[in-house]
Amino acid sequence: MESNIENFWGVAQIPVGVAGPLLVNGEHAQGEFYVPMATVEGTMLASYNRGMKVIRECGGVLTTVSEESMQRSPVFIFRNARQARLSAVDQGQL
């Protein structure tokens, strides 16, 4: 194990469940997807399932990819993800 990870200290066992399906209407992915989630909070998967059901019943979630990164930033609200990306392009951010 030590050859596969730096500063190996131990392992943790966390329950894994599946939420979904989530209906995705994306530029690169379309369809229903199940989302594996690891959590020790017993009701979290049920809450995600309820949210995904509402999203499905409303026609799915519209997704876009602006870049492959992860960051914390202020929140801006748009009608959908594509409008958000276009705004970022207009602002010179992409």
Residue 58 lies in a domain: yes
Q: Is residue 1 part of a domain?
A: no
Residue 49 lies in a domain: yes
43 and 28 share a domain? Answer: yes
Q: What pLDDT, in 10s, does the model give residues 37-80?
A: 999 997 999 999 999 999 999 999 998 887 787 766 666 789 99
Number of domains in the chain: 2
Do 35 and 50 have their domain in common? yes
CB 37 within 8 A of CB 45: yes
Write down the pTM of the prediction.
0.61
Specify the DSSP element, H or E, that contains 90.
Answer: helix 81-90
Same domain, 72 and 82: yes
66 or 1: which leads in pLDDT: 66
Q: Which domain covers residue 70, as residue numbers?
A: 64-94
Euclidean distance between CA atoms 20 and 87, whole angstroms: 30
- DSSP for 18-34, please give it: EEEEEEEEESS-EEEEE
Q: Are residues 56 and 36 in the same domain?
A: yes
Check residue 4 and give its pLDDT.
73
Residue 93 confidence (pLDDT): 79
